[in-house]
Amino acid sequence: MMTKKKDMLRALALITGALLVIGFVLWQNGTLPLVGYEAIIVVCFPICVICLFLWWMAREHGEDIPFIGY
């Protein structure tokens, strides 16, 4: 279960990362306007970063209730 989730996160990080690279290449080619490339970054960069972090973070515990002061 846990590894499955990690795999999914890694896949998502890779996909969005690949999209960022593809966007960069197309922009350098001149096929994609700058605005399009920026739109790709705005959507993909947060997802890529968070998924990457969630993938490489330490072992996961069960969820807990919020901090309530003691």
Partner 1 sequence: MIGYLLFAVVFGLLLLGIHRKVIARIQRRPGPPVWQEILHMLKFSFKSTWIPATASNILFVGVVLVAIGIWSAALFVLLAGGSILIIFGIYMLHKIVEHGFGLSSGSPYGKFGGVRSVISAASEIPLFVSVAVVALYTQSLEISSIVQYQAIHGPLLFIVPLAAIAMYIVILSKMPFGPFSIVESKELVSGYKTEHFGVWRAGLEICNGLKTYVLMFMFITVFIGGIPIWWMLAGMILLTVSLSFACAFSPMLSPFDSVTVQMLITGVMLGYAAVLGVIA
Partner 2 sequence: MEMSSLGGIPYYILEFGDELVYFSPYTVSLFLLALVFTMFAVMAKPERQVDIAFGGDAYYAKETSLQELRFRRFMAIACGFASMGAMLTGDIFNFTLFISLVGICNVGIVAAVKNRHVQNAAYQYGIVALSATVPLFGAAALIAATTGTLSMVELWSSATPAVPLVVKALLVLGVMGEGMAPFYAAKAEMFRAPGAPYVIMCSLSSLLIFLRVIEVVLVI
41 binds, among partner 2, partner 1, none (CB under 5 to 8 A by kind): partner 1
54 binds, among partner 1, partner 2, none (CB under 5 to 8 A by kind): partner 1
57 binds, among partner 2, partner 1, none (CB under 5 to 8 A by kind): partner 1
Q: For residues 57 and 66, what is the distance between their CA atoms, to the nearest angstrom? A: 20
Q: For residues 28 and 62, what is the distance between their CA atoms, to the nearest angstrom? A: 45
Q: Nearest distance from residue 43's CB to partner 1, in Å?
A: 7
